[in-house]
Amino acid sequence: MHASAFFAILVASVALVASRPFDVSVLGDATYSIEGPICSGNGLVPAGSKCPLRGDKAVADCHPHLKSYGNGVCVAPVDAACQKIVTGAWGCVWAPRNSTNSTTTTIPPDTIVAPSTLPTPAPTTFKPTAA
């Protein structure tokens, strides 16, 4: 296979996976189906950053006591935000309507976080060993 054909197939595969719908829950609320990459992971930055947007309809776990519930269905009342949740993982949470004082880290959708420029904590000096 030619390199250009392989590359074209690879790009098409990545685009297909990135655009296919995934189920994602909102902390303390219902589950929504959105196109990925969804907010997830437990590292310094999320593996994806997409969350349900205002007006999206839930596909599962819709119950009368939830913030999004109304008239027998759950509809996202506001855009959800990708934040570190209490477990240390990244998750979707309902963004406060007028939030100016937050202690959580929020990653807007489609944000690319640059790698840290801080030095690594590991020693970087080479010490030769006897052969």
Share of the chain above pLDDT 90, in %: 56
Q: pLDDT tens-digit profile of 71-92? A: 999 999 999 999 999 999 999 9
- Please indicate, yes or no, whether the overall pTM of this predicted structure exceeds 0.75: no
Model confidence at 7: pLDDT above 70? no
Model confidence at 12: pLDDT above 90? no
Q: What is the pLDDT of residue 3?
A: 60
43, 48, 41: which is closest to 21 by C-alpha?
48
C-alpha distances (whole Å) from 128 to each of 35, 91, 106, 125, 131 are 51, 46, 45, 10, 9
Does residue 36 lie in a domain region? yes
Does residue 85 lie in a domain region? yes
Does residue 33 lie in a domain region? yes
Average pLDDT in the chain: 78
Does residue 122 lie in a domain region? no
**Is residue 91 packed enough to be buried (19+ CB in 10 Å), middle (13-18) or exposed (0-12)?**
buried
Does residue 24 lie in a domain region? yes
Does residue 40 lie in a domain region? yes
Q: Are 38 and 19 in contact (CB under 8 A)?
A: no
Does residue 42 lie in a domain region? yes
Q: pLDDT tens-digit profile of 101-125? A: 344 455 555 555 555 555 555 555 5
Does residue 8 lie in a domain region? no
Task: Tell me which residue range forms the domain holding 74.
Answer: 15-95
CB atoms within 10 A of CB 83: 19
Count of structural domains, the chain: 1
